[in-house]
Amino acid sequence: MEARLLLIPWMIAVIYSSIPLFWFAIHPFAGRWRRMQRSPYRALLPLWMLMILLLGLVTWPWHALRIYSSPWMWLAALPFLVHGLRVYRRIVSEFGAHKLSGEAELRPGEHQQELVTTGLHERMRHPIYFAHLCNLAGWALGSGLSVVYALLAINIFVAFPVMIYMEERELEARFGERYLEYRSRVPLIPGLRLKRAGISPRRVPSSEAQTPEVQGKAT
């Protein structure tokens, strides 16, 4: 019975860890997806399912390997899981499901394009990514599964930093001084302010600021 229950955190970790892969399939190629006459999700959703399947196959040999086994660790995991779910709930109400799913970026003609700086985005620049990591950390702490910890580490130190770097460069190019001012006053996560090495905020002449063509957001 316990072995079957451990499938739940493993599957959840696989799904969460497929999100960065899905992100890399969308954002760098957003222009190509927008040119499709049919809905790009006809191709993207099957692609995402394939990513989940492949990631599951890769991690399956270690899906039941545990670093520790203690039901008390779920008490330590609970604050992460609750906080992550609370952030998700606020994101859906403040940010909108169409932006959360990426639809606003892939169909800019049907949705208003804007730089989101209100709600949770007043406290941190990437609340969606923060919620993902909170939930993944909760499942790692509670289950003690080594593969969940490994996926958490890859997300924290590799996938999400690359995603944040690419997204913030895009937002800076599109919104110029508006985004630079926002980034200078809002931390990456609450209580943490990081400055890019060798990079300081610069003023962008209004003539250089680009009109946003896709969804302007700070996730």
Number of domains composing the chain = 1
DSSP state of 27: G
The answer on pLDDT for 71 being more than 50 is yes
For residue 64, being part of any structural domain is answered with yes
For residue 39, being part of any structural domain is answered with yes
The one-letter amino acid at 45 = L
For residue 170, being part of any structural domain is answered with yes
Task: Tell me the whole-structure pTM to 2 decimals.
Answer: 0.81
Average pLDDT over residues 123-148: 95
For residue 202, being part of any structural domain is answered with no
pLDDT 10s digits, 198-213: 344 444 444 444 433 3
Count CB-CB contacts under 10 A for residue 89. 11
For residue 116, being part of any structural domain is answered with yes
pLDDT 10s digits, 91-108: 888 776 666 666 666 666
b/e for 45-81, b at 16 or more Cβ within 10 A? eebbeebbeebbeebeeebeebeeeeeeeeeebeebb
For residue 211, being part of any structural domain is answered with no
Q: What is the pLDDT of residue 196?
A: 47
Percentage above 70 pLDDT, the chain: 79
For residue 141, being part of any structural domain is answered with yes
Please say whether the beta carbons of 126 and 218 come within 8 A.
yes
Q: What is the pLDDT of residue 197?
A: 38
pLDDT 10s digits, 77-89: 999 999 999 998 8
Cα dihedral 133, 134, 139, 142 sign: positive
Average pLDDT over residues 131-138: 96
Instruction: For 166, list phi and psi in degrees, rounded to 5.
Output: -65, -40
Residue 154 domain boundaries: 2-185
For residue 212, being part of any structural domain is answered with no
Pairwise CA distance, residues 159 & 78, whole Å: 24
User: How many residues does this entry show for the chain?
Assistant: 219
Q: What is the pLDDT of residue 105?
A: 67
